[in-house]
Structure 1
């Protein structure tokens, strides 16, 4: 196995671990509550602390890797993730566990964009690049499903602490492999100071956006707390855009990347896709445990076919990537995923695993797998090499924020349909409605592919300047 292949292995481990830890604690939450004495309001922060720091810091992590070295940030993120996982597994109080999860999110925000940037700069063209992005797409998609499965099995047979401790040996092995495979960072001509004002505005704005959204399970969307938080987030993000467009000499995010229709369309597609997928994982898991009365271990194992379908879809997309355009891959993949979510919306209080979970899982996962790898390539194809981390941070931010917003909105929708009832019939109606909306989100993503994405293949990188007016848009993106 050559060095590029080993780099792919390291990057895949990193992305898989970050994706897995988004969902691995979900099934373990009841055991964590009884083990550490969480109150009902505080328990959700075991999930939200990770999502908040990861979603708020991804752009900063991507740009820091461009400026100060992707390998350096990658190693730092990996090491910090391992230490935080160890601390979480040994936590003796709710505050200690929530803090450990927040540090995991911080580490993941450094690790994830650096990993994708290293991948796109190592594999630059042809079949090798398509295969590498296919692997990245598969692990990014299956990590969440495997996280649910691993969380159930570990909680039932080893104890909830192992949903955190399992990361430690993985991190140690990955760091050892990184040391001998990933080349040291070269100085390069584009090093400079980090845009601190943009970093503060962007990080605080995204962080408050995620914070406001994830708190809607405690504070309704129309409450003063939620509206106030989202209003402040909007002001900060508007200031961030102004700084990046007019003031910063070395922007944290160059707005001109979005002048490329491929980059803009791919990020919007990712946002919609993960808004539907994150919510679907949540509601299908609740349906299996609360309605079909499956155990945590059985619920986790039930996500294995979903992972297999994602891999199959990714293989299909990888093999077809050299012959088909981006649009030609995303449209059938998105339609297949939308159909699968529509099938999920037919769940019944007296349903069966085979008809109402297994069947739609396979259809949805194959469709999603056909989309993930092409999207990763498209979202980074419009960036010059020295801004690969910036583009990687953008697509990962779209993924994370889309997932958080989609889950919060659809949880509210399901709650309004269900009310305070715990009757399986009422619960199923709420879950079914939200799963149907997930399908609508994928249908909208298909419309984005048809109207925003160019008909041909992605054009060359868009500009290298710091101002939108300095950009030259390639002909394929007009």
Structure 2
């Protein structure tokens, strides 16, 4: 048994016995003294029996719980800040203007400005959680941040529409490496309970809040400076945040340092997601009559089938273990989450199109009109965290689906010219609630449905649905728009049809959620499985009396 294991074993014993001793010596406490029987760790038992020790427990990789409160809080804030800086909304809010600056006037092609970043971010996030488990979540997060900074810098030097979108696609890979590993760092170091709900609630709120800040940033730079400086600023901001994380975060031991990466599964899954998304986002510009569109669509389906077959039958350490879907209602939950985010992506893009194309708002005016979105996104994070232990997950997701359904409905029924306060203002408020409610509920359900060492995989899955759904929704809605607007001759008809599509998929998500998703409210405090528990977690819990009460109940039940 290693020195680290010995110290942790002794620390665990001393924490438990000293806490119970203090409680038994308290004159205000009545009743016989409690007795705690502590078993030796499995490593010691295995060595005494002459057998090799089992794999190291996961608590060896949770450094946040053994640091000072100020440093831990600072790191948590920086992790959430990393999600703020990588928001793709800088190219959604300013997408039309950026497209024109790069020489492309056609709105049916401008959607690539908004779709290129979340396309690769959503596709590559599938494997980045596993990379974090093997090489360390901190290390992969920092590598992703460095990649994000590099390609943000390169984006600022691009003068071609095609090259710019390629650069934004590469930037999305950095965001993909950041997202699930940031979630895993929060989830691994915070047991199920109120603090995890709050942390993940704030993390989910950072995406829409970062979206508003990104739109404001785009408005300021496109109004008062060359657009290139927007990406230079993003690169500098990213370097500051990740540099601080690199300095503050202590050394980390990976969850599964001897694990293998399922490269075949990663290539099959990522290729399928990229091709399927590319086909739908390219269709509005070239049409479905283009031969390669149908060919690539068929290829993407074949690759996806190959990915599922490989993961199920051949992969020794699958990048996406299919047993994660055995949790009750989990498969339907995945579909509901994807449809909800497709509707979010639709409403985001056509809110920009409507205000900037039909009502001739500037990017800065649009960002100022989005202030209620930023405020309500913060509020939604609090609401989502508060609801998790009090309400079944299907009801929280239903609230999110209703909010985005009403958002699209308000926009598709408004006249071409109208005061902002009549329908666009309430639509902006409602839209802020869907991402937080759906993401927080789905992320917490996913993280609480798996073991501690699978947190990166759970984060990858929900992150894929979030980001990929936004980008895929743009492609589907864009196809509907082009086909119903007579290829640009009836713009308002195309916008309305695309928004009706958003209403429809939100309604399908709501119906599926209400009919099939059955998840009880989650009011757990701590890890359910004994093997997932960490003495550092217990030390934190003892400070609040949680473990003392739990162990007293255990002793009492053994000694009636």
Note the C-alpha offset of 1:129. Answer: 0.8
Aligned partner of 2:75 in structure 1 is 7
Find the counterpart in structure 1 of residue 127 from structure 2. Answer: 60
- Classify 1:267/1:4 alpha carbon distance in 2 versus 1 (closer, same or farther; 3 Å): farther
| Correspondence list, 1:208-247, <5 A | 208-221=275-288, 223-247=290-314
Q: Which of residues 183, 198, 204 is equivalent to 2:265?
A: 198
Which residue in the other structure is 2:336 paired with?
269
- Determine whether 1:25 maps to 2:91: yes
Greater displacement, 41-50 / 180-189: 41-50
1:30/1:349 CA distance change after superposition, 3 Å: closer
Look up the match of 2:204.
137
Kept in 1, the 8 Å contact 2:281–2:478? The answer is no
Secondary structure of 2:347's counterpart equals: helix
- Secondary structure of the structure 2 residue equivalent to 1:361: helix
1:365 to 422, 432, 446: 432
Compute the displacement of 1:135 (Å).
0.5
In 2 relative to 1, CA 222–393 (structure 1 residues): closer, same or farther, beyond 3 Å? farther
CA contact (8 A) 1:31 1:160 kept: no
Match of 1:254 in 2: 321
Q: Cα gap change, 1:360/1:46 in structure 2, threshold over 3 Å: closer, same or farther?
A: closer
Shift of 1:368: 4.4
CA contact 1:343–1:360 (8 Å) conserved in 2: yes
1-structure distance, mates of 2:365, 2:105: 27
Contact 1:344 1:436 in 2 (8 A): no
Distance in 2 separating the partners of 1:52 and 1:332: 26
Residue segments in structure 1 that go unaligned for 5+ positions in a row: 465-478
Please show how residues 34-73 of structure 1 align to structure 2 within 5 Å.
35-37=101-103, 45-73=112-140
1:354 to 400, 403, 421: 421
Contact 2:344 / 2:431 at 8 angstroms: preserved in 1? Answer: no
Whether the 8 Å CA contact 2:92–2:352 is kept in 1: the answer is no
> Aligned-residue CA RMSD in angstroms?
2.6
C-alpha contact 2:204 2:435 (8 A) present in aligned 1: no
> Structure 1 residue aligned with 2:509, among 440, 445, 448?
445
Q: Which residue of 1 aligns with 2:157?
A: 90
Which aligned pairs between 1:67-466 and structure 2 lie closer than 5 A?
67-94=134-161, 96-189=163-256, 191-221=258-288, 223-421=290-488, 426-457=490-521
TM-score by length of 1: 0.88
Shift of 1:353: 0.9
Rg (Cα) greater in structure: 2
2: distance between equivalents of 1:171 and 1:297?
Answer: 23
Q: Is the CA contact (8 Å cut-off) linking 1:348 and 1:428 kept in structure 2?
A: no
> Contact conserved, 1:262 with 1:379, CA < 8 A, in 2?
no
Q: CA deviation at 1:420?
A: 3.7
Paired with 2:370 and 2:258, the residues of 1 have a C-alpha distance of: 44
CA contact (8 A) 2:134 2:255 kept: no
In 2: Cα distance, 1:449 partner to 1:3 partner: 40
Compared with structure 1, are the counterparts of its residues 128 and 238 closer, same or farther at alpha carbon in structure 2 (3 Å cutoff)? Answer: same
Query: 1:322 aligns to what SS in structure 2?
Result: coil
Structure 2, gaps ≥5 residues long:
1-68, 532-560
Measured after TM superposition, the shift of residue 162 of structure 1 is 2.5
TM-score (norm 2): 0.76
- Greater mean alpha carbon deviation, residues 97-106 or residues 158-167: 97-106
CA separation of 1:189 and 1:162: change in aligned 2, threshold 3 A = closer
Q: Which moved more, 1:36-45 or 1:438-447?
A: 36-45
